Amino acid sequence: MEATSKCRGYKKGVLFPTSTSMHGCYASKNISISQPNGEAKAICMGCKEECHCLMPSRTTLHRCSVCLKVSNSTLGPHGLKKECAICRPVKKIGAKLLKLGDLGSSKKNGNLLSGSLLPPSMPSSSLALPSTSRYNKRAVLCGVSYRKRKFRLKGTINDISNMKELLIKNFKFPKECIRVLTEQEQNANLIPTKHNILESLNWLVKDCQAGDSLLFYFSGHGLQQPDFKEDEIDGFDETLCPVDFLREGMIIDNEINSTIVWPLKEGVTLHAIVDACHSGTILDLLFVYKHESGIWEDNKPPSKEPIRKHTSGGMAICLSACEDSQTAADSSVFGGKGMNGVLTYLFTKTIREYPGITYGGLLEKMHDEIKKINRSRCNNRILQHIFNRRIAQDPLLSSSEKFDVSTTMFKL
């Protein structure tokens, strides 16, 4: 059986320069001060590891091609480095993707090699999107395979087919109101580029009215990057990786929030189902439901300056593949043809088997299924360690408002 993890881990004690006098630790995610010149020692206040690095003697300002932030960079013998020190490690993600035995490939990573991820046969000119009538149910389904890349995903097309069938058969979504973005589409506007995904998200919420039920679904790689606006509790922004993220950059949770959460009017409900690594708070919603304790935790921004994260009266609910600190997987462990995202497969399976299930019941069933899989795959701890057969992800529910998950029926 095959599986793919969707993200990379952090190395304990490895520091990366954020300027000539500051360092950020990948292990504890803390920022610490180092000596300003020569051989610098920095002890991270989080993991207590001492690291040595050579501080740059000459710096200049530049804009990073990945995160678009302006920062200092070393001017070495070969000229200015093109990406910032914060994003540079991300360039190596694909080469370091974990091979997880039964669990297949990492869904939320990416080998940030230079160049375009667009299919070579795809014309650069745009094609018009088909016109659609006004429906009170609309959906955007986005599946990114990153084909012909080392970090490609094999289960996203199956995920899209599974989700589309569920929407049509179980929730009565008209086919005409479902916009699908994959690399297999003939229409250039439906390739899951950063521009096309954001355009589709704008289409999803445009002129929304009371009674509308909207859905955003994403299956692909997800990453994290340092939070520069100080609006994240853990100090990291969550991101989604479009097919052209090497060139155009990632889609940050702040942008997703402002695009599809802010416009929600009273009486409008948005669901987001995100099968990606580090996707726990990808919509930056105000409340996170903790399955083990059964309580809603406050996820409001810790920054001193007011930052908008709420709707315009509507309701936004997000079901994520895992917590922000976790990775998600594509797997062939479920049998059948090909691979599937773990969240997508368990979500669609549970909804089909238990129509009318509550949000709490849905979470409970998915957590139970993951536990059963882990118990059945390998009881021998030594073999389990060798083959990495555990599914180490906990589906997470977040919302713009608190509600009773034990009595509220899941519906789209």
> Among all residues, which ones are annotated catalytic?
221, 277
Helices (H), 156-301: 156-170, 194-205, 245-248, 253-260
The answer to whether residues 94 and 149 touch, using CB atoms and an 8 Å cutoff, is yes
Q: Which tokens go with 136?
A: 């009170």
Torsion of CA 45, 50, 54, 59, to 10 degrees: -10
Question: Which residues, including other chains, have CB under 8 Å from residue 128's CB and lie 6 or more apart?
Answer: 189
How much of the chain is in helix, strand and coil states, percent to nearest 5? 25, 25, 50
Q: Which tokens go with 90?
A: 């991300």
Question: Which residues, including other chains, have CB under 8 Å from residue 18's CB and lie 6 or more apart?
Answer: 24, 31, 71, 85, 86, 226
Gap between the Cα atoms of 383 and 351, Å rounded:
33
Gap between the Cα atoms of 366 and 371, Å rounded:
9
Q: Which tokens go with 268?
A: 């409008």
Matching residue, tokens 């990632």? 250
| C-beta atoms surrounding 152 within 10 Å | 20
Matching residue, tokens 């990379």? 8
| C-beta atoms surrounding 92 within 10 Å | 12
The answer to whether residues 334 and 345 touch, using CB atoms and an 8 Å cutoff, is yes
Question: Which residues, including other chains, have CB under 8 Å from residue 169's CB and lie 6 or more apart?
Answer: none
Matching residue, tokens 């479009």? 242
Closest CA to 157 of 169, 148, 146: 146
Closest CA to 269 of 316, 203, 209: 316
